[in-house]
Structure 1
Amino acid sequence: MKKILVLAKVCVANHFLKELAKFKDSTKEYIIVCQDDINFKHSFTHIKIDPTNAARLKNYVNNNLELVYLLFDNDLDTRLAYDAIRLIDKRVRIVVLSNNKEYENDSFCTLINQEEMTTNHLIDILPNMPMIARDIGLGIGEIMQVFVPVGSIYANKHINAIAQEFYKIALIYRDNEIILPKPDTQILANDELVLVGDPNILNLMFSRIKGQVGQFPSPYGDSICVVIDMKIDENIDNLINTALLLHAKSNSSRLIFYVVNPTINKDLEKLKKLKRKTIIVHIKYEDISVNNVVLEFCNMYSGLFITSKEIFKKNIATFYDSSMPVLKIGTIDFAKLNTIACIGSGSLRVENLTSTLLDISLILNLNAKMMYFDNANPVSDDLIEHINMQSQFFNKNLELVEYKSKNPLLELKFNPYIIHCLGFEKHIIKTNTLKYLSNDFSKLYEILDDNYQLFIPIV
């Protein structure tokens, strides 16, 4: 019979032990090692010894041991008990209740961070936050539960009327009952939907279901980071003005400037005068790379990067690894932009860009356009349906323009008043001389070096 060993203090594990006592599991033997009395009825074996004593524990650890729990209220007892078990058995699976991340290096150890679990649960209860399954699957947001409020565009819709290419509505909870959705199942206000799929898409779906628009840089974060290298950046004033305008019009809570290789000039003086409650200016007088600056921001915040074409080219792999969107500035004044557009084709799926594109078009009062170019594959009915649905949700027209012969990249190249929105995918960071023969327009982003370009991370 397999054994489950629990090393604990009753004051910490009392509730867990009471629940354990209710189990009727005849396939396992439960052994509780603690020096305290257990004052409730139970069927498990209680060993009243010091749970941190390796010599005495050795009698209870053998080949039949399947799992060990360490449930203490201080780091010293946890460390002593952990070391004791590892002296006896190097590979037995251990569950540790601790906030100390040092146990993460043990591949046979599961760390339960009580503060993190409590915080996550409190966050999940917030009305405008998605509830994410953190202990199932990858735990990165690929399973999400969303409440459908009254007035949502998803209320009263049938399942078969909702495009679900990058995600699925797996379950519906209604009046404390589980509904397995069928094509003709109707979603009602106050339903709870369980969504499964690409985490980026689920975040966008959460915003749609809740009726939240004009939230950019959400769902990627709430901060804007501007990276400036005074040694190589040619138009710092445009970087500053772009960031200030976007911060003023977007839903960002803070604007952070990072300045490396500072030089005494009018741009530096302008930056110094910007400091206020929601604007932070970090001037890096020490020798530090842009790569380290990006990592510093990622460790503390999340949101949108704004940078020049020079910085973007030199650090594209680092920006890609951040999994955050990047706005590469163009040559004209940001305030003069009039359109935001993406390019689509039969082989290039852009459905997961259109929500961000429309959100930004609302914030900046820009026209929104999808430029379709693929002689071999005409515009599909699914794409038309997707565009109509997006336009309806955002109450903003997403214009679909089909190009029969003229390459839309050329229109963008000679029209600096359009922001080019594209997927930030891994293949675009690779150097490949054959990319100019490709019909994947994202690989040809460098043709638009002087245009504003918004790179959206794609999982």
Structure 2
Amino acid sequence: MKKILIISDGAVGEHFIRRVLQTHTSENIYYIVELRAKEYEDVNPARFKFYNFDPTSFSKLSNLLKMEFVQVIIAMDNQVEIENTIKNINLVKAKLRVIVLTQHNLKNEDANVVIVNSNEILASRLLDYLPNVPVIAQNVGLGEGEIMEVLVPFGSSFVYKHIGVIEQKNWRIVAIYRNRKLIMPSRRRMIQPNDQLVLVGEPTVLKSVYRAIKRELGEFPEPFGSNLYLYVDMTLVNLTTIEELITRAVFAHKKFKHDLIIKVVNPSNIPILQYIKDLRNTNVIIDIEYDSRDLEDVFHKDIKSYHVGLVIVSGDMFAHDRTRKLLYESHVPILKLSDKPFSSIKEAAIILGDNRDLEKISATIFDISEQLGFNLEIYNYLNEHQEEKEEVIEHYYSLATIFSKNIKVIKETQNPIRMLKKKDNFVHILPFTQKLTKNRIFSIFSTDSERLYYKLDNYHQIFIPVQL
């Protein structure tokens, strides 16, 4: 939860607070300081805290600033009071970002203070109504959210990614602002911390992109979803190992600290069903599908209704072609569990392919390895296309610096799958692309390590979709 401080005194500040009250986000807590108390309707006390005192009083404001705010917004009428309030904030939190709405020409040399001049905004809006005058960017488009500007935070999943490897379906990065300069995007352009990205696309898609850009380490399975979903088809799962499968799924559930839903379809074994039902006492949601309905339709509805961000299946189920295609169509990460212990894993292994897909999913890989406590090993098969692979390795080293995560790059002159099959236990992480939905028989003579994923069936595997 992000704490935001709003300091208001005047009609504009009061109107702003009423607009904030109408927003439907659960990610922010607002602390509102007013000189005089005002009446507001439909106030959520969990999200809005009101204080009544003079913000130019250093002792009172400094006491409130003991909390960790991410931002302060000031909307006051009196210029002197605004200046004194900013001074008080700087004395306590010199690096705190402060947004000031004013109609006065305030002089500002502090990089952390942003001045929003209301007169300039009104004049700019009126200018849009003049004939034969080009419209400035802030009012271009339908005004429905199809144009968006996003600040890339330091720990973002987009930092140090090449634009060419970012899947841009129904949206585009059309401009980058860096150090107050416009940079035109290209496939080889790398995104850096504090870049301002201008995005154009479908409003609903841009909302997801915004969340993805703002996502930082420790939030997986976001932005794919928020809950874990163990999918058990009793016609496909080895019933003798189902208890171990559930135990490993519960372990993952505790590590990621999100709800676990156990979905059982085609129920056939009464003792096992009773074992699963008994898990209700452990805060696990049990959903058993007794009807012989279209299970594909049921699965996709569950992904949406439960807001699933990670699907967990057994190796038997993932080996089934139709089920694997169904999992791919869900567009969420898949954890395929093997018969090996899961809680004792120390390493996550990735094999560099001849494409850039591993760069697309890099932030998710770092997030998973951080939350589960895995060391990250990158296997570089020294065949052709080394130039692109070196760029991917450079990207991973950059992320390792940001996230303070050690990585190990291992160079191999033969297919790394042979070496990995000699290891005792690890988790194999790879992109989940459409080529993995094909029948395994078609990849017998392939040299593509991703298509040969089943050669490591005896190990746990995580398949991450490359699109948002």
Aligned to 2:407: 398
Q: Which residue among 326, 329, 342 is the counterpart of 1:318?
A: 326
CA contact (8 A) 1:216 1:251 kept: no
SS at match of 2:462: strand
Aligned to 1:258: 263
Structure-2 change in CA distance of 1:187 and 1:404 (3 Å):
closer
- 219-228 or 344-353, which moves further after superposition? 344-353
Please tell me whether Structure 1 or Structure 2 has the larger radius of gyration of its CA atoms: 1
Q: Which residue among 204, 208, 217 is the counterpart of 1:213?
A: 217
CA contact (8 A) 1:216 1:359 kept: yes
Aligned to 2:311: 305
SS at match of 2:285: strand
Provide the C-alpha distance between the structure 2 equivalents of 1:244 and 1:125, rounded to a whole number of angstroms: 27
Q: Which amino acid aligns with 1:165?
A: G
CA contact (8 A) 1:230 1:262 kept: yes
Q: Which residue among 230, 236, 261 is the counterpart of 2:234?
A: 230
Q: Which amino acid aligns with 1:422?
A: L
Q: Which amino acid aligns with 2:370?
A: L
Aligned to 1:50: none
Structure number with greater CO (CA < 8 Å, separation at least 6) is 2
Do residues 451 (structure 1) and 455 (structure 2) align? no
Provide the C-alpha distance between the structure 1 equivalents of 2:190 and 2:457, rounded to a whole number of angstroms: 48
Provide the C-alpha distance between the structure 2 equivalents of 1:386 and 1:231, rounded to a whole number of angstroms: 43
Q: Which amino acid aligns with 2:366?
A: L
CA contact (8 A) 1:260 1:289 kept: no
Aligned to 1:382: 391
- Pairing of 1:8-407 with structure 2 (within 5 A): 122=23, 145-148=149-152, 152=154, 163-167=162-166, 170-171=174-175, 179-181=181-183, 192-195=196-199, 210=214, 212-234=216-238, 235-252=241-258, 254-264=259-269, 266-275=271-280, 278-288=283-293, 290-300=295-305, 301-314=307-320, 315-347=323-355, 349-378=357-386, 380-405=389-414, 407=415
CA contact (8 A) 1:416 1:452 kept: no
SS at match of 2:249: helix
Q: Which amino acid aligns with 1:250?
A: F
Provide the C-alpha distance between the structure 2 equivalents of 1:416 and 1:322, rounded to a whole number of angstroms: 31
Query: How far off its partner does 1:449 sit?
Result: 1.9
Q: Which amino acid aligns with 1:392?
A: T
Query: How far off its partner does 1:216 sit?
Result: 1.2
Aligned to 2:46: none
Q: How many residues of Structure 1 are paired with residues of Structure 2 in the alignment?
A: 321
Structure-2 change in CA distance of 1:143 and 1:127 (3 Å):
farther
Query: How far off its partner does 1:229 sit?
Result: 2.2
Gap runs ≥5 in structure 1: 1-117, 129-134
SS at match of 1:335: coil
CA contact (8 A) 1:353 1:423 kept: yes
Q: Which residue among 410, 415, 438 is the counterpart of 1:430?
A: 438
Query: How far off its partner does 1:381 sit?
Result: 4.1
Aligned to 2:4: none
What root-mean-square deviation, in Å, do the aligned CA atoms of Structure 1 and Structure 2 show?
Answer: 4.2
Query: How far off its partner does 1:425 sit?
Result: 0.9
Structure-2 change in CA distance of 1:302 and 1:326 (3 Å):
same
User: How high is the TM-score relative to the length of structure 2?
Assistant: 0.58
User: How high is the TM-score relative to the length of structure 1?
Assistant: 0.59
Runs of 4+ that moved beyond 6 A: 182-188, 196-205
